[in-house]
Structure 1
C-alpha cells in the first residue's frame, strides 16, 4: 500500500551542503594560450618563405585564434554561469576578464592570419 510509505524531507540542520564551486579557470587559461599561439603562428607565417609553410601556419593561426578561442570562451562562460547558481559561489572576475581578453586577442590574431592566408592563396 502506498500509505505505508511517507516520504520525509531532509532535515536542513543535519544534511551537509555541497561546497561552493570555485570559479572556472581552465577555459580562460586555454583561451589566452590559444590566442598567444595564434599570434606566434601569424608572426611565423610572415617570416617563412615557402608557400606551403605559410598556408599551414596561417591556417593554424586562423583556427586557433578565431575558432578555438571563441569555443573556449563559450565554455568558460557556460561553466561560470553554472557555478553562479550555487548560493555560496564567490565570483572572481579576473578569470572572466582573462577569457574575454583571450577571445578578443584570438579573434584579432585569427583575422590577421585569415588575411595572410587569403593573400597567399591569391598569389
Structure 2
C-alpha cells in the first residue's frame, strides 16, 4: 500500500472496523467508567458470548489499543481487562448510540417482529 493512501475511506469506516460485530460494543460497555474486570466477570456481564469468541474479541480490541490486558504472575494466573484512554473515548462515542437504542428499543423490536411475520406470510403466499 502506498504511504499516501489511507486504509479507510472515512472515520466512520475506521470506527466500525474497531467496534464491528455483536460482542465488541458489549465488551466496551461492560468496561465502562474505568471498571477493571477479570475474564470470568467480563463473561458474566455479556450474556450469550462463548469463551472462545470473547477471547478472540478481547485480543482484537487489545491489538487495536482499545483494551488493556494486565497479567499477574501468580498461581492461579490472574488476568484483568480495562479500557485504555483510547477505549474510554470510543465508549464515550458509543453513548449516544446506546441512548438511541434505549429510546427506540420497543419500535426496533416491533419492526423486527413485523418483518419476521411478513417474511413467513410472503413465503406461504408465493407457494
TM-score range, shorter chain: under 0.3
Which one has a larger percent helix, Structure 1 or Structure 2? 1
Higher RCO (Cα < 8 Å, 6 or more apart): 1
TM-score, normalising length: structure 2: 0.24
Which one has a larger percent strand, Structure 1 or Structure 2? 2
TM-score, normalising length: structure 1: 0.25
